[in-house]
Structure 1
Amino acid sequence: MVSVSASLAIAATLPARAEDPPPQLTGDWGGWRTELANRGIEFQIGYTEEAAGNASGGQHNYVRAAGQLVLGSTLDLQKLFGVSGATMQITLTNRNGRNLSDDAGLNTLQQVQEVYGRGNIWRLTQFWYEQKAFDGAVALKFGRVTLGEDFAAFSCNFQNLTFCGSTPGNLAGNYWFNWPLSQWGARLKVKSGQVYVQAGAYQVSPRNSDPDRGFYLGWEQTSGALLPVEFGWTPTVGGLPGKYTATLWYDTSHANDVLRNRQGLPLAVYGGDPRREQGRYGVSFQFQQQLTRPDVADPVRGLSAFLNITQTDRRTSQTDNQIAFGLFYTGWLDSRPRDVMAIAIGRTQVNGRYAENQALANFNARGFLQRPEAEYAIEAYYNLNLHSGLDIRPNIQFIRHPGGITNAKDVLVLGVKAIVNL
C-alpha cells in the first residue's frame, strides 16, 4: 500500500501525492474537519478489505479475507507554530486476516492479496518531518519512513502484488521495505520545473520487519544502509500529465549468494555456508501517462497507461526481474464519472542462478530436475465508486506457471477489494 492519502481519481492515472486528500465518507464532521485543517491538523482514517477465493489451482479451494486499518494525521507546522514549509506525518496501521496464497497452497511468487503480510499487528508506519525551502524546490524529509512512498512510488489499486506499490519491494522485500514497514531514513529532493532528482539513505535491519514488534525503533542487527537515487520527469504531453522515473539503489550490507558456497561450489550439491557478497543493488523504471481526456472540464476522466520494469542483482536475489503493463479508464459512463476499469499483465522472473540451485536440490532429493522460471499474472477489475470515500472493486486474477513452475496448475482467483476512507 502506498498511502492512505491516495485518492481514487489520481491513483487511477498517476501515483498519488501525500498532499492530495482522499474523498471522505463521513464528510466534514459538521465543519470541524475544515476548521482543524485551517489550523494545520488533518486526519486520515481508512480501511481496506480484500477477499479472494481460488476457483482453480492450488492444493485446496478456499476463500480468505485480509484487511488493513490506517489511522494518520498530517500536521502543518507553519499553520500550527509558524515554521515555514514544515510538515509532520504520523501514521499507525493494523493488519488482520488470512492469506489465500498460503492457506490454499497457490505457491505464487506474488500474493493475490497485496494487503496481507508483515504480521497481524499494530505498526508505527510513518513518523517523519519534512522541511521545504525555496518555494518547495528543495525538500528534506527524515524520521521513520516507508521507502516506497518516495522512491519508485506507485499506486496500489490492483489486488495482485505484481501491480501494487513500489516494485523493488516485490523482488527484494528482505531489505527494500514497503508499507507498512518503516525504518530510519532521510531523503533530499530537488526539483526544477518538470524535472526532479532525489537521494536517500535508509537503515537496513531485519528487526524492522519483525512480525511481533510493530513499534521497534532501535538499531539492532543493522547491516548497512540502503542508498537510492531517483531521477524524475513529470511532463504534460498534449495537455495530459505523465510521470517518468528511473530509480537506482545500492545496499551496503553483506548478503548470501543464492547459488555458491564459500568454496565456490553449488550449495545444493556440496552444502556448506553460502558465499558472502558485498552489496546489493538494482534499478527500476516507471512510465505513466494519461492518454485521453474525453471531457476537458474533468481532467480525471480518460485512459491512462503504465509500464514498470525492475531488475535486481543476480548474486543475492531469488527473484530478479519484474515487468508489468496496465491500462486504467476512469469515467467510461457519463453517469459514473469516478468508476474505473483496469487491466494489467505482469511477469515475475525467478533468478536463473537461484533456479539452478533449486533444480539441483530437487534432483538430489527426488531424482528429477525441476527448475523454476517465470510467473505470469493478469488482473482485471471494475471499481464502483458507490459514494465519496467508499469504493468496491471486484476483480479476477489469472496466474500462469505459479511459482515459476511450468508444469504447475494455473490459478484462477475471484476477488473483491473494498476501500473506505472516513
Structure 2
Amino acid sequence: MKIPSAALLIPLLFSAAAPAVTPAWNGTVLGFEAPPAPLLGEMLGIRPILTNHGFNYQLGYLSQLALNAGGGYNHDSHAAYIDQFSLTFTQDLERYTGIPDAQIEGNIVNRNHNDNLTLKRLQDNRVNFNDLAQESYGGQSITRLGWLTFARSFDQRRLTWRVGLMNKVQTFDQIIPCDFQMLTQCGGKSANSLSWNNWNVHTWGTTLSYRLTPALTLKGGIMEQNSYAADRSHAWSWSTKGSKGMLLPLELEARTHVNGLPGAYNLGVLFNNATRTDLYRAQAEYHRTWFLYSGLNQQVTQRGGDPDRGMSLSWSLGVADPRSTYIHYTTAASMRYRGLFDARPDDWLGLGVSYIEMSNHYARNQAYQNEVQGVTDYGNALYSPLPGHSINAELYYRFRPVGWLELQPGLQYWHHPGGVRETQDAWVTGLKTVISF
C-alpha cells in the first residue's frame, strides 16, 4: 500500500513546482512527435476521402542494421538486417453512432529477415538473452495482427473503455518513446515481465483508463496470459488456446509540467495468476507473481523559446520476481535533444545507458546444471555460464533528409553481453531507417 500512496503525491509535487499558468502539454521534446508528411501525400485524393469518412491510418517502414565492430562472443564479422512494414489505423464510429469517442483500432505488422546479431555474434547462447541490438527483432518472418479493439468514452470523456484483441502498448507504459535501436532503451520496462508482449502480438482483454484530474490518469485491466501468443499459429487467431491465466495491470500516469516544461511519470504493477515454475527448484510452482515498473520523462531545457526544441531526460525501471523470471531487474537512463543545431531543428541526438541484473535463481540453476554434467571449464560446450549483470549503452543521431525519411546511425557498447563476464565487451554500429508512407 505504500507505493500507491507515494504515487499519489506525484501530481501534488508537480503542481507545486509548476507556475500558476502553464502551456498545453506538448510531448514533442519528450520524443512524441506528430506524424510527418507522408511520402505518398494525399494519394491522388484518396487519403482525404478516407479521413472525411473517419478512417485515419499510418503506414510505415522500419529497418534496423547492426554490425559487430569488435568484441562479443563470436568475433566473426556479420551485418544483421531486419525490417518491417506496419499499418496502424482507427475508424471513427462516433459520427455514425453518436457514442462518445467510439472507434475501432487496429494494427498489422509484417516482419522480415529473421537475422539477430545479438544471438549470432554478441552473446553466449548458453544463457538467455537480456538485450537486443535490434529491438524490432521478433523471432520470425511473419505478418500478424497486433491488435483489433473497440473503444469508447464515458463520464464526459474522463473514462475510456477498450475491449478486444489487444496489446499492452495501447494503454500501458507509454511515457518513453521507442527511438533507440537497443531493446533496453526502447520505451518502458513493463515488457521485461516476460508475461505480455510489445507491439505486434495480441491477446484478449479489456482495459479502463480514468482521468482523475487533467494531469493524472489511473489505468487498469484484465488481459489474457497466453503462452502461445507469440507463436506463428496465433498470428491471426481469435482462439484462447494456450491461455494460462489472467494479467491484472494497474498503472498511475501523470502528464504535467515542472517549471513550465512538460513531463510524463508513471508507476505500475502487473499481477499474474498463471502458474510459473521456480527457476532453481523445479518442483516449486507459483500461482501469483508480480512485476513492478516505473519511469519518468521530463523536458529540462527549451531552445530559443521554441517548445519543439530542447533536452529531455528519462529513466525507467522494471523489477520482477527473481524466483520465476530470469531477468531480476533492468534500469535505464537516457538523454534526448531535439533541434541541437539551428540549421537542423528537427534532428535528434540521443544517449542512453542500461543496467541489467539477472536472477540469482536462474544463476543457481545454471550452476546446478554444471554439477550434474560434472564440468567446471567455461570452454566446455556442456558448461552452463553463470549470468550476473550487464551494462549497455547507445549513442545515436537522427536526421531527416526529407520529411518522410529518417536515418539514424548509432553506436552501441555492450559490457558483459548476456550477463556473462567471460564474454568480451562488444561494440556495435547500427543504422535505423524509418519511412512514412
Considering the TM-score relative to the shorter chain, is it more than 0.5? yes
Matched-pair contact (CA < 8 Å) for 1:208–1:216? no
Cα distance 1:318–1:380, how it changes in 2: closer, same or farther (>3 A)?
A: same
Is 1:75 the counterpart of 2:83? The answer is no
Is 1:87 the counterpart of 2:108? The answer is no
How far did 1:206 drift? 1.2
Structure 2 CA distance for aligned equivalents of residues 378 and 133 of structure 1: 43
Is 1:126 the counterpart of 2:147? The answer is yes
Q: Alignment partner for residue 233 of structure 1, among 219, 234, 254?
A: 254
1:300 match: 308
How far did 1:157 drift? 0.4
Is 1:316 the counterpart of 2:324? The answer is yes
Give the secondary structure class of the aligned counterpart of 2:177: coil
How far did 1:21 drift? 4.1
Q: Alignment partner for residue 106 of structure 1, among 97, 119, 123?
A: 123
1:269 match: none
Aligned-residue CA RMSD (Å): 1.9
Structure 2 CA distance for aligned equivalents of residues 256 and 307 of structure 1: 31
Structure 1 CA distance for aligned equivalents of residues 221 and 99 of structure 2: 24
Q: Once the two structures are superposed, what CA deviation does each residue of 1:58-79 show, in whole Å capped at 9, x if it has no partner?
A: 3132001001110232111123
Amino acid in the other structure paired with 1:375: S
Matched-pair contact (CA < 8 Å) for 1:118–1:181? no
Amino acid in the other structure paired with 2:421: T
Q: Once the two structures are superposed, what CA deviation does each residue of 1:20-79 show, in whole Å capped at 9, x if it has no partner?
A: 544422223344423422321112110100001101123132001001110232111123
Give the secondary structure class of the aligned counterpart of 1:34: helix
How far did 1:180 drift? 1.0
Amino acid in the other structure paired with 2:221: G
How far did 1:353 drift? 1.6
2:77 match: 61
Is 1:278 the counterpart of 2:298? The answer is no
Segment of structure 1 superposing worse, 103-112 or 339-348: 103-112
Matched-pair contact (CA < 8 Å) for 2:122–2:417? no
Cα distance 1:22–1:251, how it changes in 2: closer, same or farther (>3 A)?
A: farther
Unaligned runs of 5+ in 1: 1-8, 263-274
Amino acid in the other structure paired with 1:343: L
Structure 2 CA distance for aligned equivalents of residues 82 and 197 of structure 1: 26
Q: Once the two structures are superposed, what CA deviation does each residue of 1:378-405 show, in whole Å capped at 9, x if it has no partner?
A: 0000001222221000001010001111
Is 1:395 the counterpart of 2:415? The answer is no
1:271 match: none
Q: Alignment partner for residue 45 of structure 1, among 34, 59, 66?
A: 59
After TM superposition, what 4+ stretches of structure 1 lie above 4 angstroms from structure 2?
9-12
Unaligned runs of 5+ in 2: 1-25, 379-384
Segment of structure 1 superposing worse, 393-402 or 366-375: 366-375
Give the secondary structure class of the aligned counterpart of 1:386: coil
Q: What percent of counterpart residues are identical?
A: 26
> What TM-score comes out, normalization by structure 2 length?
0.86
How far did 1:12 drift? 5.2
Matched-pair contact (CA < 8 Å) for 1:120–1:211? no
Structure 1 CA distance for aligned equivalents of residues 82 and 347 of structure 2: 23
**Aligned pairs for 1:326-341 within 5 A:** 326-341=334-349
Q: How many residues align?
A: 396
Cα distance 1:53–1:212, how it changes in 2: closer, same or farther (>3 A)?
A: farther
